[in-house]
Amino acid sequence: MQPAIIPAGDTSGAAVPGRLSADRVKDILIVDDHPLMCDALALTLKISFGRKTVRTARSLASAVEQIRTHGAPDAVILDLNLPDARGAEGIVTLRRQLPEVPITMISADLENAMISAAMAAGAQGYISKSLGREALVDSLRRMWEGERVTPEGYEPEAAGTEDEARAELARRFATLTPQQMKILRLICQGKANKEISYELSIAEATVKTHITAIMSKINARRRTQTVLLANSARLFEPA
């Protein structure tokens, strides 16, 4: 299936990096917990784009640490489902660290709602893991030059002001600290404050303080509304 191309001038969804040159992308980070997928992608990138630096990470936490230690890559290819992040959480987290770096979401899940959530969260594109080499290379090149790429047949669920609202919600979630994101994930799993306190080894009063901060940052008035907003952004997908 060939990916659809959204012109670089498209303003829907979250802010994405401006036009680049694919030739300037020298350092690429692949975040995928499947070793064979990582190796295949790395080999494809090196062959198709010349001798580039290709780093790999098996989890979101590992990717964050790698960026902190070795600096920002020129581009990221991110798996939708990781051991420590499922759904749009990976995009939201990395976009906070890499505001100007094109991030490509890659997945076998081509559900419209998930694609919309990833694009709103700041993905430069969303591509299928079943793409052939030529289509994959073409999609990445276009993204690295500033275009927004989605799978063929994708139909955005929202339009106009709804798109803007979804993107704004993603930006609010991006302001959460890593600890607040962990607490939010546990809230969405139905955990009580005492359970969150035990699981994260922090005081229950600290949990309450973080929850107050989370609700303030995402403009939620109640705990239930917080969960609804996270679900709306497809932040945490069920395992």
> Has residue 104 got a pLDDT over 80?
yes
> Has residue 8 got a pLDDT over 80?
no
pLDDT at position 127: 94
pLDDT at position 116: 87
**Tens-place pLDDT, residues 169-193:** 888 998 899 899 999 999 999 999 9
> Has residue 237 got a pLDDT over 50?
yes
Domain that holds residue 8: 3-151
Q: How confident is the model at residue 157 (pLDDT cuts 50, 70, 90)?
A: low
* Higher-pLDDT residue of 76, 6: 76
pLDDT at position 16: 45
What 3-state DSSP class applies to 207? Answer: helix
- Write the CA distances from 128 to 100, 104, 158, integer angstroms: 23, 10, 21
**Tens-place pLDDT, residues 201-222:** 999 999 999 999 999 999 999 9
pLDDT at position 166: 75
Helix H or strand E segment including 103: strand 103-107
Q: Evaluate whether residue 238 is within a structural domain.
A: no
Same domain, 28 and 73: yes
State percent of the chain over pLDDT 90. 52
Mean pLDDT over each residue of the chain, to the nearest integer: 86
pLDDT at position 233: 87
End of a domain among 129, 151, 173?
151
Task: Give dist(CA 141, CA 5) in Å, integer.
Answer: 12
Same domain, 132 and 196: no
Pair of tokens at residue 48: 């198709």
- Write the CA distances from 234 to 22, 156, 193, integer angstroms: 30, 14, 23
Q: Evaluate whether residue 52 is within a structural domain.
A: yes
Burial classification of residue 7, based on how many CB atoms lie within 10 Å of its CB (0-12 exposed, 13-18 middle, 19 or more buried): exposed
Q: How confident is the model at residue 7 (pLDDT cuts 50, 70, 90)?
A: very low
What total number of domains does the chain contain? 2
Tell me the CATH number at 109. Answer: 3.40.50.2300
